[in-house]
Each structure stands twice: as C-alpha cells, then as structure tokens.
Structure 1
Amino acid sequence: MHSLVVVTLFWLPLGLTQPTPPSGSKAGFHCVPRKTVPFQSENGRLFREEGVWNYSTMLLREDLGVLLLGARENIYALDINDISNMKSSVSWKVTPKQREDCRNKGKDSIECQNYIKVLHTVKDGRMYVCGTNAFQPGCDYMSYTDGQLKLENKLEDGKGKCPFDPFQRYSSIMIDEDLYSATSLNFLGSQPVVSRSSPSSIRTEFHSSWLNEPTFISMAQIPESKSSLVGDDDKVYLFFSESAVEYDSYSRLLVSRVARVCQGDLGGQRTLQKKWTSFLKARVDCPVPGSKLPYIIQDTYRWCEGEDWRTCVFYAVFTPQTDGWGMSAVCAYSVLDIGMVFSEGKYKTPVTVETSFVKWVMYNGDVPSPRPGACIDNKARSHGINRSLDLPDQTLQFIKDRPLMNQAVLPVGNRPLLTHRGAVFTRIVVHRTQDLNGTKHHIMFIGTENGSVMKAINYNEEMFIIEEVQLFRPAQPIKALSFSDTTGQLYAGSEYGAVQMPFSSCGRSVSCEDCVLARDPYCAWDKIQARCVAVSTAKADSHLVQSLVGDFSLCPATEPVKRVNSTLWLGGNLKLSCSPPSNLAEVQWQHDAQPLRPSTRHQILPDGLHILNTSASDAGHYRCVSMERSKTGAYTATVAEYRLEVGSGPEGQPRRPEAQAEELSLVMLQASVACLAIVLAVLLGWNLYKGHLPLPGPCGRARPSAGREENQGDQEEAARPTTQLVASQSGKLVTRLLEPGEANCTSNNNKCSGEVELAGSKEGETEVSVTLCSMQFIDDESES
C-alpha cells in the first residue's frame, strides 16, 4: 500500500491524471449489459478433447472451410460451420529426452510440453506453426490436403519466433515470407526482443530504454505505402506494456505502449547493425474517469474501411494495474493519430542527475535530418538515401539513445468508448454489420476473464451493451477470439476448450417490445411470424420491425398478462415470482393499485415479492410492473399479476397449510407410538412365555432341590408380610401390611396371582386395594 501511494504521488504532479469526460458526455461510462445469459449448452457449440488443454491459438482459413486451433501438443482442423465436427488433427509432442532436459532445468511436467503458439498462413497456402517444445522453441510447416493435416517435420529453431515459457504473452505476424515476432530470446525470459525473421533478419537493442520488462500484446500491419503522396513505407505496429523509465517512483509503474517499425528497414551500416533504425515507441493512454494510475492494455483489434489504410482504427481493451479498482475499458485509436505522434512529436531524452540518477525529459535540441525513426520516403531519396543502410550515424545514434516519444497517443474523442465494472476484459474483436435502413454499425465482441462474451455497440457516442453470454462452465478466461463473416459465427478459445456462437440469438427475445428494446442490428421482429428473427435470414417480403433507438411504439398490441389466483394462508410465508425482462428494467410492485413499499414483512427481491407472516390485510390484487427507458421514452409493462384470497379450513376458519401439516405429523407420531407399543407388548409376552423374564410376586423364588427345604421355604415365605396399596377416588394412596397367608400367591414355577379388591369406605368413597407379591427369581439350575 505504501508503494502504491508513493507511485500515485509521483504520477499526479506529472499532469497524467486522467481527465473526466466533459459535461453532457454520451460516452458509455459504467455500462451494464441489458441481458445476462447464464451458461446453457444452447449458447454455443463446444469443442474439446479429454486430456488436452490450452486452446489459445486460432487461425481462420475460410478458403479451406476450417478453423485451425492450436492447443497443448495438438493442432486441430475444425469445421467452421460446426466446430464440434473435427475434420482432422495432428499431434506434436516432445520427446522423453526433451522433457527430461526441461525438468532438469527446474520446470515442472506441465510446462515441459509443447504449447502451440504460432499459426500463420504463408504464400503457398501452407501454415507456419511454432511451439514452446519443452522450453526449446521449434517451428515447422503444416499442410491441409484432402481433409488431412500433416506436419512436414522440417523442424526449425524457434528462438525469437516463439516464447520459451508457455504462459508468457507474445505476439507475431506473417507478412509475405517474413515473420515479425515479439517475444523473449532466452530461456530465462530476460532478453525481450522485437525481431523479423527473414534473409535480412533484424531485431531491437537489449537496452531498457528500448524494452523494459515488456508484456507483448499484439502486432498489425498497416500498408501506408499505398496511395502515399510522399512515397512512405508499410509499417508494423506493436502494442505492449512495460515498466516505465520516464517516471520517478520507488516501485514498478506499468504503462501501455505502441511501437512502430518500417518493413523496409535493413538496419544501419555501422551504428545499429542488424538493429531497427525505425523503432519508435509512445505511451498509450485510456483515460478512465477517477483512475489515478494508468490502465494497462490487454488486447487490440485492427479494423479498416476497405483498402483505405487511413480509416484504420485500433480497438483496445484495458484493465487497471491494481486489483482494487475493478473497472475495464475499451478505447479506440486512429492510425493517423498514432502516426502523427511518431512523425511530428517531440522525443524524450535521458539526463543524468546527481551523478547516477537518470531522468527522462523532453528533448529540445536540434533534431538531425533525416528525422530519426522515419521510414525512407521521397524526401530521403532525393538526398541519396534509398535504404536504412544509407542513413548517417548522427541520425542512427540519436534514435539509439532516444526511442521514446514525449507525447502520448490519446483515444478517439479523448475518452473511452466503454467502461464496465465487473468481469475483467481479456480479448476483443470488431465486426461490422448494417441495419434494415442500410446504416453500418461496429459491433464489439469482448471476451472476459470469467468466460463470457459481451456484445456492445456505439450509437452516436452512446455505448450500449446488448448482452453478456456465458460460454464456459467452469468459468475460464477467454484467451482467443476470432470470427467468420461468411458464416456469421464467433469463435472463442480458453484453457478448457473452444466454443462457437452466432453473432446474435434473436430467439431469446420473446416479444416485439423485447426485440426492439434489445437494439440489436442483427435482429428484427417479424410481425407475420410473431417472433424475433435474424435480419440476414429474413425474407424480402417480411414485415419487419426494427428500431435501434428502442421505439417500442412500432410494435403491435400484445395480449395482457394472465392473472394468477392464489390462496393466502394466515401466518405463513408467500413468494410471488416476477423476473424483470432485462437488467435495465426497474420493477415496482402494486397492491390494490397502490405502490408497495419494502418493509420487514414485504421483501422485494430481484426475482419476486416475499410476504412474511401473512395476515388478512395481505389479500387483494398484486401487480409487478417493469419500466425500461429508451431514446423514445419509458416502456412500462405488467410482467406478472396475482389475486390473493384468504384460505379457509373445514369449519370455515382460516387455517395455515403449516397447521394442517403439523396435525398430520401429530397423527403419524401417534400411530408410530401405538405400533411401537404393540411390538413391545408382543416381545414382552413372548419373553414371559419363554421364561426369559421374571414375574413379580412373593412366590417367584426358585424351589429348593430337597423336599424338606422346599416346605421350610414355603413356610418362611408364608410368614413374610406383604404390602397392600389402597387408592381412593380422591386420589389418595393407602399402604397397609397384610398378615401372613392373606395374600393369595403361590410359588409354583414362580407364578403369582395378585389380587385387586374394590371396597367401600367411609363417606361413600371406593377403595381399590392391590396386593403386591414379593419379587422372586428363577433358579434355572435348581429346576434342572
């Protein structure tokens, strides 16, 4: 916490606090998905193989009709129409020796496998594939012929092309026969490099001013030589994050960057030999309101209007570098704005302060010509500089020491397109479609850390999240996103597997109003079929209703909700169900046409109303009303309606179902006790009959073995006094001693005959006298 405070204190004075949006801004701050679709198997088609993990590399080959999916030690060719249909697969496993060498270097068995990380198409139609190969990166060529994948087993060294560590971020792009890659060049991951693998290979310097503990994100080519008036070169843009060198702080501060190199760069003649002479980088800001530290870039997607590179925009997702904020954002950057920073912006330069401390400040000195970091253009050619090898050492030394630009790249509109608190964004792709009126829209599909995909759209600077669909269970971060424009399908990859989902599932909207308020350009309400359908599949003569401003008044009248009659039992608990049609709808309950306020007895839950300890006053008419706002007004509809009446028992008195249940339980308990008593009585009788238990009484003692002793025992027993209890009707017990021989008992086989006597007493009371015999025990040995 202390280090964070220190970083913040140094960050604020530099004027880098994120600006708040202007008053009345329509940006999509804190957007909430209109609908949240939980996981269902119908959400998409899943592909996975048991025991195979890390489906994180995708290459769409629409010309072959397959989606190539790279996973751990396996590559799959899947049908783009149904990825659950695997057409072919090929296995690329490490050898036992490679695995053993990897483990001897301190890596575990999970890391010491071959993770497919690079999949690109080359000119002849083959694929170039690279894997981590147990921390010995290797590459090979792969073909797909006659429906079969085949590795050519022409193994090449993959250092600088593919990461050593399977869990380290990297990026690569194939241009013609040249592979541009951003990864680590050594086993420890301590030599980050941006390189081009070609006959004229080239890379970055191993210096912190060039790359300082970077995390590489993505690469893209921009063909800036096309229709260029100045004879410019094509460029490759790289997005990454790294530890900032330009800010004074006591802890590691991350910033987002964009870098650029020229495709025709061959390095310098003496200075920067086989090193980039055009490598420049600049900070990328995504100004999220309220944030004190810069947000970190996680993924980008390049979108261009046709062949015109000037229309290209990079959509990027950002997350906070501290876990406490919990906000993700989407920002868009114009390639023209990025190019302006590199071509016209000022440079930063390191300055030594107090003999050892280096501080980066804006460079205000003379800039040599040709401009450092610039591509070779017509102006340079006019001075006899036709390639980077011809650049003067003064220009090369300048860019070697100062690759960082002073100015930051700001997003379009100087604010995020979208911010969202909740699921952390991981990936993004953008698809363009058009509505019924022919207007084109950019739809953003955003992958999240919990395995869901959000579909968002920007309507005249107003951001709207149509839905969030859960694709994976268990939840897995989405690591790859791609789509096919011809099939209208989105493909998402995760550690667990890959899922295919359509651009839109219009059938989730069950009414015209729901379909219109979804504001989904892919969908429209068909009044003839009375259902929400995909615009791309609708017939030409269909009567479709679509309003991207949410004009629900265009919908035909709908039937009212059917009332549900229910019984109210006094003193019980009752729940009335009511699920709002969307996350944006506000729900209100009415009781007898009056708003119902939440209380201790009336709890308004997200899915209904809970009435506790019901009383007669709770009877009546209940309505659940939802209200959802759109650009044309507020749509109000009755979602559920109930009529509650107090229930009555057999005698006309209100009785709770709980009371009936209690009575039933009591009857069952009594029946159980009676059954148990009968069983015990039977067991007791059986034991008495068999003589296993003694009977009470003075004669119950075993007979002596000798006849004389038996007579003597009988006389002694007869001489013993017995006890008599006398009970009156008043409940009093009277105890009296009986004279010897008065009790009618015999000692034959320990059987005793007790005596009960009813006798009258004074004042009309009746006495009950019970003669208790002395307890005697059977001597089994004596009787034998």
Structure 2
Amino acid sequence: MMFLPAVLCVFYVWSPATLIGGQGPTSNIIPRKTVPINSNGGRLFREEGFWNYTTMLLREDLNMLILGAREAIFALDLDDITVKKAMVNWPVTKQQQMECSNKGKDATNDCKNYIRILHKNKDGSMYVCGTKAFNPSCDTMSYANGQLNLENKQEDGKGKCPFDPFQRYTSEMVDGALYTATSMNFRGSEPVMMRSTDEIIRTEFASTWLNEPNFVHMAHIPEGEPNPEGDDDKIYMFFSETAVEYDSYTKVDVSRVARVCKGDLGGQRTLQKKWTSFLKARLDCPVLNINLPLLVQDMFHLCQDDWTTCVFYGVFTLQLDSAVCAYKIEDIKAVFSKSKFKAPFPVETSFVKWALYSSELPDPRPGACIDNHAREKGFAKSLDLPDKTLQFIKEKPLLDQAVSPIGKRALLVKRGTAFTRIVVATATALKGSKHHIMLIGTKSGSVLKAVNYEGKTVIMEEIQVFEPSEPVKILRLSNTTLYVGSEVGVVQLSISECGRYHTCLDCVLARDPYCGWALNTGRCSTIDSTHTTSTVIQSLSDGDASRCPPIGGSKPVNISFFHGNAVKLWCQPYSNLAKVHWQLNGHPIRASNTFQILSDSLMIFNASAEASGHYTCSSVEGKYEAQHVAYDLKMWSGSGTTASLRDVQEKENTLVAMVVILSLILAMLVFWNMYKGHLPLPCCHSRVKDTTNRCGDERFSANQAQQHKVASSTVNMNSNNNYANIQRFSISRETDRLTTTVGSSGQISLRPIDDESEI
C-alpha cells in the first residue's frame, strides 16, 4: 500500500519545479522539409567487414577525420570521406577472445576491440584506447608518410576506457591529462570519474557520489582565464543516474551535471587521491504534461567569445518524447557556488531521508576551487584544505538547487521521436546577426536542422541519413560539414545546402540563416560577404517573402479519362507546412464522394463528364500562395479518331469471339490429322532421315515413312504454344480497363490497369 503514495510523492516533488514556464515550446514541431536518403547529397564511407563507426577525432591540421571502428582505425579525407588515406588494424588475439568468452561474454560481438577513445596529444600524436575483449588497453598512434602506426606503447586502460563496448562513457584531454568517466571493473558496477596523470585522482565508490550512472559528455571550461576571483578551470560532466534523494520504493532516474576543479590534487588525510571539488546538481529540462524527468542523452557547448558566453545544448528523452534544452555557463556556475546542499538523515527502520542542509557550512565552502578567498585563508592547494571541509564533501556532494535552462523551458519538444546526439553550428545571416543552428541526431537515422528565433524554434529540415533501423551514434562538426556515424557507416553532409530550396518563396520561407534568394541569378544561394540586402532576399524573423518576384501560372497538362475510372492528379508541395488548395474552373474543391484531397494528390472517383475541366493545385504556407501544377481534364469521346469506351469494348468482344472460333476450328483440324495418322504422336516426333532413332517399327514401308516426313514438316508444335500465349493475352485484355497515365515528360500514354488511373 505504500508503493503508490511513494511514487505519487515523487511526481509531486518533481512537477512544480520542472513545469514552471513549460508552456512555451510548441510540441511535436513538424520539419518544414523532408529530405529522403537518396537526395541528401551526402557521401558515405563504410569498409567491408567492419562495424561500429562511433568514435571520431577531427584533425583539421592534417585535413583528416580519424575514425574508430571495431578492430580498426581509419584516416579519411576531411573534404571527401570516401577517400581513405590510411588504415590500421587493432584486433584481439584468439587467446584474448577465448578468455573473454570463458567469462560469459559473447565471442562474436562482445569479445572484440571497439575503439572508444581518440584524442590528440601535444606532440601531434594520438592517444587511442579500445575495449580489447573486456580488457581495455591504450596505445599511442602516429600518422606519418601516409600511414597510421600504433607504437606498441600499450598501457592498462582500466578507468580510462569501458570494459563493455555498449556502455556509455565520456572523456576529455586537457593539457595532456586524460579525464574520463566510465567503469573500473569487468561487471561495470564501479563507476568512476578519473584524471589519469602520475597522481591519479578519482571519485569515491559510493552511491552518494555516483549511483548507476549513464555518462554522456565532458567539457573543459577555462574559467581561470581572466578571472578577478582567481578561480580555477573546471571540468563539467553530464550524466543521468538513479536518484538517492527521493522517498520512493522504485527507481527514479534524473539528469545531472557534476563539476571538478582542474587543479584539484586530492586531500591530505581525508579524500586522499580523491576529488575534493566534486559536486553535482540536478539538470532540469521541463516539458509540459510529462511528470517524470527526461534523461540527458548528449550535450554540446558553444562559446562565442570567451568562457562567459558558453552555452550548453542538451538533448533529453523519455521513451519517445524528446526535447532540447540550453543552459548558460553563468547559471550553472551560480548553482555550484551558491546553492545549498542536500544531506542524508537516518530515520526509523534504518531508512535514509535526504533533506535540505540548513546548518552553517564549513569555510572554505565545500567543493569550491582554490581561489583568492581560499589563498587569503592560507589554503594554496587542495592538500591544505581542512578535514571539516573535506569530510562534508565526502558525505554530501549533492546540491539542493537544480540547474534551469534558458527561459526555464525547453527550446524544442518533439513527440514520437527519440533524440540521440546534438551539435550546434554558428551561422551569420545577411544582416550580420549570428544564429545557433542545432543539428540533432535521432534514433530513426535522421538529422534535424533547427534554429530558434526570439524564443520560437523552427525545424528547417529533417534529413534521412541512414535506414530507419540505424540510430545516429555520433555527430561531429567542422565548419559547415557534418559527420554522422552509426553502426553501419559514416555520412558526410553539408549543412548549408541551399540548392534544395527551388523557388524564391521556398527559399525565403525556409528561414535558413545560411541561405538567401539572389535576385541577379534567380537562385537560392549560400550567404557570403559579397551579398547585400539589395541583391539578396532573406527574412529570418517572420519569413517575409513580399519582395519575391511573381511566379506565372503553370502550363496545364492535358489529360483524357474513361467514364467510370478513378483518376489521380499529383501535386507535391515544397513544404510539409503548406496546405494544398485545389480548384476546378476557378472554384475551390471540397472533399466529397467524388473528390478526396490527399497531402500530395487529388483523387477523383467514378469520373464522369462533370469531372472535366481546368484543375489547379496551389500550396498555401502562412499568408503566401503559389501554384504548383495545372491539369485540363476531358473524357474520351467517340468523335474524331478517338474511340469511345463502348466502341473499344465492342471491338474487343468481337476480336475475342473470332479468336475463339478460329481456335476451335484449328483444334478440330489437329485432332482430325492425328486420327488419320497424318500427324505423329509426341513420342514419335523425329526426323525420318535419322534411321538409327526412328520411333516406328522397321516394318513401316518407304511410302509410310515419306508420309510421316511430310506431315511432320507441315505442323510446327511451337506454333501451338504461341497461339496459346496469344489466346491468354487476348482474354486478359477483356478483363482490364484502359486508362491514362502522365509520365515525367507530360505526355499521355495508354496502359491496362484494373480499376484506376494515376495521373
């Protein structure tokens, strides 16, 4: 009986805090344009026999994309990833695979070497780690003379690289030191955030620090650069975990952001070789009508000038509900420096309840970096911190206040779609304003291209990159080129592809910061420094296309149809947001038993003479209407050279009757000749000249043999097969109806079809 109240309590605690301002974003935003996989203009790389292309390192200094897969590392041309510059194999041995299999893992899938870490070293070499059949290992790799080379400087990868190739992890290389968040053991039950240097610093193995976490992202923010408070650089880590602070008999997962200081050396007695600055706070991404928290899947940070302008963009999901939330670094910093703490309090039956800690805090503040205030008190490094401060952070690293997104609401909410990854690009518009372009990978193998204008987000495109069963596993961005990785391959896409907008109206209504309609060329072009507002039309805030040149009406396509047939008229608008508007002889068409208006066509059922006329199809988007196609429909008549449907049917019936009569006569002649012996039986069909293979008896006379020869040469058995085919074709024509079809050239052709015409 206590289970339901406990769960409802969790919902009550969560809802008021997260739904404040959650009314803002429009849920289930429809992408304006859908780009199919065969029209995305991308380049695909995949190597036969290799899988899991999910680790990438951009080496713009080498103009290469370093790609980690299963048991191989590739060096691809950054401009054209179909060009493979180099490759190195890093497989597991049969012994390693056998040992892994003996421990209960799948030898085919688990017991391989999945490349999981790729970072650039200061000297230009690369640090690479792989799962190595559940025995992670790291090495140094170099690129020279057109070849990738592993230098066989292998070292233990525990705490750096995950054991399980399918477990989430994250890492960051900062000034030659590797920061990682993964699991320390084979079972994956000892999560750790660790810095790998000569003196390793890591988190405590305690549920109050990390409780079944799912790591997603790590970022270095140089807050020590020019800072009047003498603060230190920070390493921020984003993850989800099972919450310890809720009074519930069921698990509730929440999103978190944690933080450590770059200069942290651990404590002298308490927290030896452990973080003294580890703090964590809840990360909110409020969505209306969803009570349970959405869980963070990926994070990307973008800084315009210095670190104070950094914004973190995150994708969050809960089953098939997804959202994008953005966070200012200043808001995150404020929570870590000013929020109160939560603390565990034991209650009856050895139950632990978390509540707000309201007593006085030790000085220096627990979890704070060494800054000017600490130095004034004589604490020059974390080793100098008093045990009272360190003991507090050891037991109570959780902050009470949650980090709220910009505007206290999600930027984008999408129902029925699971977001997986995100990167953000900066585009400079025609008037010089800068806009953040969100590129969001999905579980269905597509990439959404979205932008936020004055609090309202629009999805410009949904680009299908992989088949729907292949989720996007990694995104990397270099200028305006996007690299999308999955289990089966990598695709290179341009995110400033303006050629997909075909008309001025289509180009301007797209509200794409990269694109504008060039009046001199009559094309949708990528914005550059030579364009001005007098030569290019672009309207991002409201999609004002009033300056677009007028478009003349389409030349009508002439169509003829038979009485009683179903006719389909195609009309595909450029935008998913446009509504199709059909007219017949200048009057709007409304849905009825005769007319059915579809998103891409008009269906006319049981067409009669009243269906003849001039049809136009226009798309209406916002306040703008544009004609797409026009048709002139006429019913076939019996006048002139065109036969009526009744005439055609009568002629077909007459032809069929004649064929049947001729078939009967011919069959009678064949049986008569066989009865008289003028035709041989099938088993005796052979040349008489071949005396060794005669089917008849030696007693046949020469005259009988001669008659046999003449009869055999007169009748060709193959002609019966041809006749049968002609007969079957004629009968099938009787059951079909004639119909009309418009090809791509606009010409009319006749073809047999069961009951409807597609035009």
TM-score exceeds 0.5: yes
List 4+ stretches of structure 1 deviating above 6 A: 2-7, 537-542, 651-654
Q: Is the 8 A contact 2:342 2:396 kept in 1?
A: yes
Q: Distance in 1 between matches of 2:46 and 2:104?
A: 30
Alignment match, 1:167? 166
Letter in 2 for 1:124: D
Alignment match, 1:293? 292
Shift of 1:241: 0.3
Counterpart pick for 2:673 among 661, 673, 686? 686
Alignment match, 1:53? 51
Letter in 2 for 1:646: M
Q: Distance in 1 between matches of 2:415 and 2:264?
A: 43
Alignment match, 1:500? 492
Q: Is the 8 A contact 1:160 1:195 kept in 2?
A: yes
Is 1:401 matched with 2:387? Answer: no
Shift of 1:559: 2.4
Look up the SS of the partner of 1:310 in the other structure. helix
Q: Distance in 1 between matches of 2:647 and 2:184?
A: 78
Q: Distance in 2 between matches of 1:266 and 1:668?
A: 99
Alignment match, 1:276? 275
Determine which structure has more spread, i.e. the larger CA radius of gyration.
1
Q: Distance in 2 between matches of 1:568 and 1:32?
A: 37
Shift of 1:687: 3.0
Is 1:76 matched with 2:74? Answer: yes
Is 1:599 matched with 2:592? Answer: yes
Alignment match, 1:100? 98
Q: Is the 8 A contact 1:17 1:291 kept in 2?
A: no
After superposing the two structures, state which structure 1 stretch, 216-225 or 240-249, moved more: 240-249
Letter in 2 for 1:205: E
Q: Distance in 1 between matches of 2:331 and 2:647?
A: 76
Shift of 1:663: 5.2
Is 1:646 matched with 2:635? Answer: yes
Q: Distance in 2 between matches of 1:86 and 1:369?
A: 57
Shift of 1:51: 1.2
Q: Distance in 2 between matches of 1:143 and 1:4?
A: 57
After superposing the two structures, state which structure 1 stretch, 86-95 or 617-626, moved more: 617-626
Deviations 1:153-179 (A, max 9, x none): 111100000000100000000111211
Alignment match, 1:117? 116
Look up the SS of the partner of 1:97 in the other structure. helix
Counterpart pick for 1:453 among 439, 447, 452? 447
Deviations 1:505-544 (A, max 9, x none): 1111111111111111111112222111112396789932
Q: Distance in 2 between matches of 1:543 and 1:174?
A: 46
Q: Judging changes above 3 Å, is the alpha-carbon distance between structure 1 residues 541 and 34 closer, same or farther for their aligned structure 2 residues?
A: closer
Shift of 1:16: 2.9
Q: Distance in 2 between matches of 1:5 and 1:32?
A: 37
What percent identity do the matched residue pairs reach?
Answer: 54
Deviations 1:39-76 (A, max 9, x none): 11652001110111100011101111101111111111
Shift of 1:680: 2.3
Q: Is the 8 A contact 1:103 1:112 kept in 2?
A: yes
Q: Trace 1:606-617 onto structure 2 (pairs within 5 A).
A: 606-617=599-610
Q: Distance in 2 between matches of 1:639 and 1:479?
A: 39
Q: Distance in 1 between matches of 2:40 and 2:650?
A: 47
Q: Distance in 2 between matches of 1:176 and 1:672?
A: 91
Alignment match, 1:588? 581
Look up the SS of the partner of 2:483 in the other structure. strand
Is 1:576 matched with 2:582? Answer: no
Q: Is the 8 A contact 1:17 1:292 kept in 2?
A: no
Look up the SS of the partner of 2:670 in the other structure. helix
Shift of 1:567: 1.9
Q: Judging changes above 3 Å, is the alpha-carbon distance between structure 1 residues 119 and 294 closer, same or farther for their aligned structure 2 residues?
A: same
Q: Is the 8 A contact 1:37 1:468 kept in 2?
A: yes
Is 1:636 matched with 2:629? Answer: no
Letter in 1 for 2:630: E
Q: Distance in 1 between matches of 2:298 and 2:474?
A: 10
Alignment match, 2:504? 512
Look up the SS of the partner of 1:238 in the other structure. strand
Q: Judging changes above 3 Å, is the alpha-carbon distance between structure 1 residues 566 and 192 closer, same or farther for their aligned structure 2 residues?
A: same
After superposing the two structures, state which structure 1 stretch, 26-35 or 214-223, moved more: 26-35
Q: Is the 8 A contact 1:236 1:261 kept in 2?
A: yes
Q: Trace 1:418-567 onto structure 2 (pairs within 5 A).
A: 418-473=412-467, 475-485=469-479, 488-536=480-528, 543-548=535-540, 549-567=542-560
Q: Judging changes above 3 Å, is the alpha-carbon distance between structure 1 residues 594 and 186 closer, same or farther for their aligned structure 2 residues?
A: same
Counterpart pick for 1:86 among 50, 65, 84? 84
After superposing the two structures, state which structure 1 stretch, 10-19 or 396-405, moved more: 10-19
Deviations 1:100-149 (A, max 9, x none): 11111111111111000000011111110000001010000011112221
Letter in 2 for 1:35: K
Shift of 1:420: 1.6
Counterpart pick for 1:378 among 372, 375, 395? 372
Q: Distance in 2 between matches of 1:7 and 1:126?
A: 54
Q: Judging changes above 3 Å, is the alpha-carbon distance between structure 1 residues 251 and 6 closer, same or farther for their aligned structure 2 residues?
A: farther
**5+ long unaligned stretches in structure 1:** 694-784
Look up the SS of the partner of 1:681 in the other structure. helix
Q: Distance in 2 between matches of 1:254 and 1:4?
A: 17
Q: Distance in 1 between matches of 2:529 and 2:228?
A: 44
Q: Please give the TM-score of this superposition, normalised by the length of structure 2.
A: 0.86
Alignment match, 1:761? none
**5+ long unaligned stretches in structure 2:** 681-759
After superposing the two structures, state which structure 1 stretch, 188-197 or 145-154, moved more: 145-154
Q: Distance in 2 between matches of 1:644 and 1:276?
A: 78
Q: Judging changes above 3 Å, is the alpha-carbon distance between structure 1 residues 20 and 359 closer, same or farther for their aligned structure 2 residues?
A: closer
Q: Distance in 1 between matches of 2:447 and 2:43?
A: 14
Shift of 1:5: 6.8
Letter in 2 for 1:392: P
Q: Is the 8 A contact 1:17 1:293 kept in 2?
A: no
Look up the SS of the partner of 1:508 in the other structure. coil
Q: Judging changes above 3 Å, is the alpha-carbon distance between structure 1 residues 409 and 22 closer, same or farther for their aligned structure 2 residues?
A: closer
Deviations 1:693-738 (A, max 9, x none): 9xxxxxxxxxxxxxxxxxxxxxxxxxxxxxxxxxxxxxxxxxxxxx
Letter in 2 for 1:684: F
Q: Judging changes above 3 Å, is the alpha-carbon distance between structure 1 residues 119 and 626 closer, same or farther for their aligned structure 2 residues?
A: same
Q: Judging changes above 3 Å, is the alpha-carbon distance between structure 1 residues 542 and 113 closer, same or farther for their aligned structure 2 residues?
A: farther
Look up the SS of the partner of 1:690 in the other structure. coil
Q: Distance in 1 between matches of 2:316 and 2:587?
A: 47
Q: Is the 8 A contact 1:118 1:130 kept in 2?
A: yes
Letter in 1 for 2:569: L
Shift of 1:573: 0.6
Q: Judging changes above 3 Å, is the alpha-carbon distance between structure 1 residues 132 and 672 closer, same or farther for their aligned structure 2 residues?
A: farther
Q: Distance in 2 between matches of 1:174 and 1:670?
A: 86
Q: Distance in 1 between matches of 2:648 and 2:4?
A: 62
Q: Please give the TM-score of this superposition, normalised by the length of structure 1.
A: 0.83
Deviations 1:444-475 (A, max 9, x none): 11111111111111111121111111112364
Q: Trace 1:215-234 onto structure 2 (pairs within 5 A).
A: 215-234=214-233
Q: Distance in 1 between matches of 2:568 and 2:2?
A: 51
Shift of 1:678: 3.7
Alignment match, 1:769? none
Alignment match, 1:772? none
